[in-house]
C-alpha cells in the first residue's frame, strides 16, 4: 500500500499538464504535532458468548506527529503525501475489572497500542480578495493506517 501511494504521488507530481504559463512549482515540507482520540464503540466477540469492550481495555488518546511533503502545481491545485505515527500508549486492567458485557478479567493485564499510516491528498486553492492576499484551501484524499496492539 505504501508503494502504491508513493507511486501515485510521483505520477501526480510529474503528469500535471505542462502549460508553462500556468505551471508553478512550489514544494514544501511540513511537520505537525497531533493528538488523536478514538472511540471504540463495538464489543469484540471472543467466543463462548463472551465479548470485550474496546473502551474498557484499550487506551483511546494518542499523541504523535505528522510529516508531510507537497507541491503546489498551479494557482489552484496541489498534492501532498504524509506519514503519521503515534506514541505507544498503555492501559492497565486490574483483575476483577469488567472488560465487556458479562466479562470480567480473571487476571491483571496490560494492552499497548500505537497507530501509524500514510496519507495522499489533493489540495484546491481559492484565492480571495482584490490582491488575492487570502485563500481558502480544501483537501480530499485517502489514508491508510495500521494499528499495532499487543
pLDDT tens-digit readout, 62-72: 999 999 999 99
Asked whether the beta carbons of 84 and 64 are under 8 A apart, the reply is yes
Q: Give the residue from 145, 140, 73 showing the smallest Cα distance to 114.
A: 145
Residues written for the chain: 150
Q: Which pLDDT does position 99 carry in this prediction?
A: 93
| pTM of this structure | 0.73
Nearest 10 degrees: CA dihedral of 55, 116, 86, 54? 10
d(CA 11, CA 72): 14
Residues of the chain with pLDDT under 70: 1-23
Domain extent, residue 61, equals 2-149
Q: Which pLDDT does position 13 carry in this prediction?
A: 53
Q: Which pLDDT does position 7 carry in this prediction?
A: 53
Write out the H or E segment, with its range, that includes residue 139.
Answer: strand 134-149
d(CA 68, CA 30): 5
Q: Count the domains in the chain.
A: 1
Side-chain-facing half-sphere of 31: CA atoms under 13 Å: 0
Amino acid at each position: 500500500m505504501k508503494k502504491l501511494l508513493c507511486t501515485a504521488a510521483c505520477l501526480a507530481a510529474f503528469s500535471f499538464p505542462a502549460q508553462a504559463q500556468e505551471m508553478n512549482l512550489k514544494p514544501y515540507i511540513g511537520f505537525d504535532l497531533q493528538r488523536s482520540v478514538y472511540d471504540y464503540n463495538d464489543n469484540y466477540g471472543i467466543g463462548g458468548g463472551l465479548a470485550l469492550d474496546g473502551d474498557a481495555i484499550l487506551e483511546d488518546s494518542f499523541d504523535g506527529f505528522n510529516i508531510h511533503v507537497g507541491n503546489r502545481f498551479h494557482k489552484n491545485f496541489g498534492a501532498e503525501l504524509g506519514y503519521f505515527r503515534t506514541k505507544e500508549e498503555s492501559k492497565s486492567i486490574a483483575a476483577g475489572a469488567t472488560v465487556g458485557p458479562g466479562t470480567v478479567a480473571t487476571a491483571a493485564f496490560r494492552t499497548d497500542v500505537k497507530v501509524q499510516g500514510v496519507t495522499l491528498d489533493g489540495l484546491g486553492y481559492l484565492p480571495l480578495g482584490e490582491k488575492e492576499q487570502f485563500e481558502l484551501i480544501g483537501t480530499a484524499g485517502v489514508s491508510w493506517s495500521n494499528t499495532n496492539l499487543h
